[in-house]
Amino acid sequence: MRNLGEEKSVPIFQKQVRDSEKGFFLSWAELNNLANKFEQIYDIDLIGCLNKDLLKRYDTDEQMYETCDIVIVMFHSSYSEVFTKNISLIERWSKKFKDVERLMKSE
């Protein structure tokens, strides 16, 4: 069982995230540190908002995508979807990662 530090195993971490009312809050540095402890990630949503008051569990994915500054939905370690209104961020990531497909929001 993988230890995430401070005697926290993956199952304990998963329970803490599931049981939290508003999700599990991490700074960018904490997220980077945590990411280095995982070998593979399945089925996780990462959301970021400049306005911390907007960070919560959303009733619908669409509401989350439209409200948050960035939403990363990781289905598997090798496949993710990123939702953001920040076009320059998407352009930078498109240059960095392979096999990037840009999808435009349908009205």
Is the model's pLDDT at 43 over the cut of 60? yes
Q: What angle do CA 85, 14, 68 make, to 5 degrees?
A: 15
pLDDT confidence tier of residue 64, bands split at 50, 70 and 90? very high
Domain ranges of the chain: 10-96
Rounded mean pLDDT, 54-78 = 88
**Which stretch of 34-38, 48-52, 59-63, 85-89 has the lowest confidence by average pLDDT?**
34-38
Q: What angle do CA 99, 75, 17 make, to 5 degrees?
A: 140
List the end-to-end C-alpha distance of the chain, in Å, as a whole number: 45
pLDDT confidence tier of residue 1, bands split at 50, 70 and 90? very low
Bridge partner residues of 76 (DSSP): 79
The per-residue pLDDT for 75 is 83
